[in-house]
Structure 1
Amino acid sequence: MKGIKYIIILGVLLIFGYLVKDLFFNDESYVQAVQRFRENKDLNFHSVTNSPLPDSIRRTFRGLNYYTPSRDYEITADFKAEERPEPVAMPMTTGTQEPYYVKGKATFELEGQEHTLTLYQKAGTTSDSLFIPFTDQTNGFETYGGGRYLDAIPNGSNIVLDFNRAYNPFCAYNPDFACPMPPAENRLKVKIPAGEKNYAK
């Protein structure tokens, strides 16, 4: 009987060990993927053809500033698609407007509160990825005052909002760019300390 008991205990410990190992490596792989995403973006910002930075700044560019990746801000939200997407005139930082379609809403919980974001698709594009311009309570302090952007792809009635990949609009680096301004319904009443921070020249 003792031998059987030891075998059972050993089996339970092995299963627990595999679960812990799997969880650890999943988190480690996730962080590595986010870091690669950020490294590739820095490379693009060094590029003569892809960078939004003026040449005088691009030559001395040393990388963007980010929060440490945290899976607390990789959020699976409920997604409700817009049955009949309607075009809207998205205000731009230059005072102009550009046509976008409202494609749906994502609802999620964070810090004990329910939040909803409207998702858009630029008119004339066919990508599955939807555009989410938003503001949060870090704007103007730790992050760009005009808000940030996020891209996400719906999966049925769910959508993963990975705020670790939140990014600044190009006008944060160069005022010559025309950037969509986050609408009132996408102003979150909570801090999102994830993704890209203010750009320090």
Structure 2
Amino acid sequence: MSTADAYPARNGSSGHYWFAVALIILLAQIIAEHFMGRVWICTCGTVKLFEPGVNTPGNSQHLADWYTPSHIIHGFLFYGLGWLVLRKASFAKRLTLATFIEAAWELLENSPIIIDRYRSATMAIGYEGDSILNSAMDTIFMALGFLFAARVPVWVTLVVAIIFEIFTGWLIRDNLTLNVLMLVYPLDAVRAWQGAL
């Protein structure tokens, strides 16, 4: 038996090891958000499976909302990124990388600088950040998107992503594409169109 066989978790050959690392990253995200002063659940005192409102106090506070499809698409994108840059790495390593990126984004998204940016540049006028529950679920939905992309043909992933983007764009006048656009390069015409909802 080689040293690698004797200590599979240490050399990274064990999928269980990398899945555990991904779970630790998620727990670190939750703990960090607690110390950032984020609320655990909606201040309304309830937990919903889905929050149907967009510019409401319950948005980004419950298990899922209309921005959940964006986080699922994150998983699609991170799966593609992992395939491109870590093609020889195990599935578990690539999922761990995706979890790290998503957790880092969740921490940044709930920082004062991004919250203020959302308020000033996007349709999220009263946005106060995610609850810890919602933020953790965003990371979990990303992982589900990653798993989905790993199991279906690329064309299916692309079709689902396009459907998500078109549907949420039509329904709430926001989606991942518009969200990124308005954070990076806000357009008055888009803001006016979103505000007319």
In which range does the TM-score fall when normalised by the shorter chain? Answer: under 0.3
TM-score by length of 2: 0.25
Q: Which has the higher contact order (CA 8 A, sep 6+)?
A: 2
Write 1 or 2 for the structure with the bigger share of strand: 1
Considering fraction of residues, name the structure with more helix.
Answer: 2
The two structures have a TM-score, normalised by structure 1, of 0.24
Between structure 1 and structure 2, the one with the greater Rg is: 1
